[in-house]
């Protein structure tokens, strides 16, 4: 599966979940609860790795992708060797 192949999205456990769950408002009191719920869905997702890889490679700056937050993905990008 290449980075431009989005076929993995059809198998994603988050399909049909509310947008606000994976893109929680950091200013709301329930932010951490939403983040934990999104991570729990990602933990059982059959396409977590392709999702995570896509978000790190493109880079997707907002939301939870493959169980990782924006900051976590940013740290991964910083650790990757330059191409």
C-alpha span between 32 and 11 (Å, rounded): 26
- Token pair of 80, please? 């990757």
C-alpha span between 80 and 8 (Å, rounded): 23
For each of the chain's 83 residues, which pLDDT tens digit applies? 455 677 899 999 999 888 888 988 888 899 889 999 999 999 999 999 999 999 988 878 889 999 999 999 999 888 876 65
Residue 17: what pLDDT? 87
Q: pTM, whole model, 2 decimals?
A: 0.82
Q: At what angle do helices 70-79 and 48-57 cross, to 10 degrees?
A: 70
Residue 51: what pLDDT? 93
């Amino acid at each position: 599966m290449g980075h431009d192949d989005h076929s993995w999205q059809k198998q994603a456990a988050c399909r049909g979940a509310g947008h606000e769950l994976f893109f929680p408002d950091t200013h709301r009191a329930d932010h951490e609860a939403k983040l934990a719920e999104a991570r729990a869905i990602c933990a059982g997702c059959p396409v977590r790795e392709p999702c995570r890889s896509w978000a790190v490679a493109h880079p997707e700056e907002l939301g939870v992708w493959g169980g990782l937050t924006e900051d976590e993905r940013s740290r991964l990008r910083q650790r990757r060797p330059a191409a």
